[in-house]
Amino acid sequence: MELKHLPVIKSPADLKALSVDELPTVAAEIRHAICEQVKQTGGHLAPNLGVVELTIALHYVFDFGRDRLLFDVGHQCYPHKLLTGRYDKLNRLRKRDGMAGFPEPRESAYDLFSVGHAGTGVSTAVGMARGDLLAGEGFDPETNPDGRRTVALVGDASIVNGVAMEGLNNAGTLDRQFLVVLNDNGMSIAPPQGALAGYFDRVRVNPAYQSMKRAAKDVIAHLPGGSMIGEMYHRMGEMMKAAIAEDAWFEKFGLVTLGPIDGHDLPWLIDMLVEVRDFDRPLVLHVNTIKGKGYDFSEDDATTFHSPKPFTVEGCRVELQKSGRSFTAAFADALTDIMQRDEKVVTATAAMPDGTGLNKILPEFPDRSWDTGICESHAMDMMAGLAKTEWKPFFVVYSTFLQRAFDQAFQEVALQGLPVRLCLDRAGLVGGDGAVHHGFCDISILRIFPDSVLTAVMDEPSLQAALEFMRTYDRGISVVRYPRDNVSDRFSDEPCPPFELGKARPIIEHDQPDAAVLGYGVMTINAADAIDHLDGHGEYKVNVYDARFAKPVDIDLIRSLIERNVPIITVEDHTLTGGFGTCVIEAANNAGLDTSGITRLGLPESWIYQGSRSEQLEETGLDAESIARTIRAVLDAGESVPDVAINPGKPEATNVRRSSR
């Protein structure tokens, strides 16, 4: 497809220069450009294909160089980015120095927040609306017609999130223009769950609503120009209000509601947005869209093509790139085995059945597995209730989304001494999704709870062993973390001993080592690979241990190494602050041991942006070659090695810390 308009749209002003009749061509070009790029790099496909016309209409009607546009689910932002001058970055989507997959203020002033978690858009929009009012910059049709308008674009079923509900509740108290555009595609990442999702299903298919939609459209067509929605609402009585405010559910929050309307009818969308643009009260525009719109394969299977790997299309055949066995797949098989053996085991995820592997478990155990929707806080509390009734709950969640349920982990789980088991997918560096999705702080936030046990796994056999350990641990929270990566088979042929509380597993061992590396999780594999990168490695005898536990650490091993004057290097794909290395130092210090020979490798206190996982590991000094450099520096220069010398050639690295005497 030859792109006529898209390459020359450098800002929304260029879009506004086009006629309405030309906009469908722009929509087709945007879909083509996004699909062709995601084929090559992977990325969020279906959610972006579904909002093309809606995004065009929003930028055609509003001026988001001045007005405020807040995204709730950031993964529906690709069309927005292409309309705000970033087409030249699309060919490096989710790569270093390319276009981030989520809104990113570093890229453009049109992106107000870096956002990758659902449920936040309405609340941040309320804050900006109030801020503009306080500054005298908020839009008012009478007193400040040139002021800033505020729009929150909500989608992919994130409206069911508790924070979104809190935002809606507060939005209803605003005395000014405030528009919530509800992109209702009948989907979350997977099919949405819960009573509210069912409510929206009924709204979409109810003939009464469709007839009211037609009635509203007819009324608008016959009204004179200027503030039509305002006139109807304020002057034309309850009957006309009912024709416009079709979805009375939002009225309970004090929000006038219009819709549902067709989110792919560009002229109608533009007409409606023109009318609601100047409305002086909080309003919801309910828009129906088709997730994956424009391609049969993505419309028919929007879950698979929500965020696919690179893929090819040959006629009617679509093939996703194969890249080995993932930790997610290994986890699904391991948990299936446990659920087959133990009928007390139950599990849940929060809107991520495909991403966590529970899509394989839900059909097999429909009475013992649940998808709660985008409700991590609720899911954690539900797990607490199941544990209280003597079931064995496993909550499967991305590390980055676990943060949303910290309070529930504290109050309803840890404080009660309940054995809820947390399975943290996407722990550590996640690659193309970048800073919004890195699982970099789960150790530091969970280790504070009494009786919590924190584990990490290096391969599939150790994942199986960790889950079996967690199945029988009943004193409190237990955790296993694993990355968005493929499982290594380097040590898979060796016997994998069961997990024993607070005990590490030797991987490479010498009787009189020159140094010892304690790897946490998959960093154990990188540490073992690092031995192969040591120059003159025959001169070095380096032990490598799979630490397994960050809480409790193997204090007997640490004591043995320190008392033999063996330098210790800890390696983790977690922030150094409160991470595994800190656990080692604190345990040694509590035991009265000298910690000056401990070197820590981990993530720095700086944001790591999008790129491949291998690039991010290299950037943070956690790839095998960088670990090898650290080992050489420790052995060759001794304890006086300054921080930056640990990673020669990487003066920007701040992720290495040596404990001082």
CB distance 587 to 615 below 8 Å: no
CB distance 437 to 115 below 8 Å: no
Taking the CA atoms of 452, 453, 457 and 461 in sequence, report the sign of the dihedral they define.
negative
Rounded alpha-carbon distances, angstroms, from residue 635 to 568, 569, 593, 628, 659: 11, 11, 20, 11, 16
C-alpha 228/C-alpha 322 separation (Å) is 54
List beta partners, residue 245.
none
**Could you count the other beta carbons within 10 Å of the beta carbon of residue 492?**
13
Residues in Cβ contact with 373 at an 8 Å cutoff, skipping those fewer than 6 apart = 157, 160, 188, 192, 193, 194, 197, 350, 351
Place of tokens 């969020």: 44
Q: Is 351 left (phi over 0), alpha (psi -120 to 50) or beta?
A: left
Which strand ranges, in their side-by-side order, compose the sheet holding 392-398?
369-371, 345-349, 392-398, 421-425, 478-481, 453-456, 549-551
Place of tokens 């630490």: 547
Rounded alpha-carbon distances, angstroms, from residue 225 to 274, 468, 484: 11, 68, 54
φ, ψ (nearest 5 deg) of residue 22: -85, -15
Q: Which residues are catalytic?
A: 291, 376, 404
Furthest-apart CA atoms within the chain: distance in Å = 90
Q: Is 496 left (phi over 0), alpha (psi -120 to 50) or beta?
A: beta
Residues in Cβ contact with 325 at an 8 Å cutoff, skipping those fewer than 6 apart = 460, 486, 487
Q: Helix, strand, or coil here: 541?
A: coil
Q: Which of 472, 474, 482 is nearest to 548 (CA)?
A: 482
State the DSSP H helix or E strand holding residue 163, giving kind and residue range, or none if neither.
Answer: helix 162-171
List beta partners, residue 201.
none
Residues in Cβ contact with 456 at an 8 Å cutoff, skipping those fewer than 6 apart = 427, 480, 481, 482, 520, 521, 522, 547, 548, 550, 572, 580
C-alpha 629/C-alpha 655 separation (Å) is 14
State the first-to-last Cα distance of the chain, in angstroms, to the nearest integer: 66
Q: Helix, strand, or coil here: 384?
A: helix
The DSSP annotation for 223-282 comes to SPSSSHHHHHHHHSHHHHHHHH---HHHHTTT-EEEEEEETT-HHHHHHHHHHHHT-SSE
C-alpha 237/C-alpha 285 separation (Å) is 20
DSSP E strands, 46-141? 68-71
**Could you count the other beta carbons within 10 Å of the beta carbon of residue 145?**
9
φ, ψ (nearest 5 deg) of residue 572: -150, 150
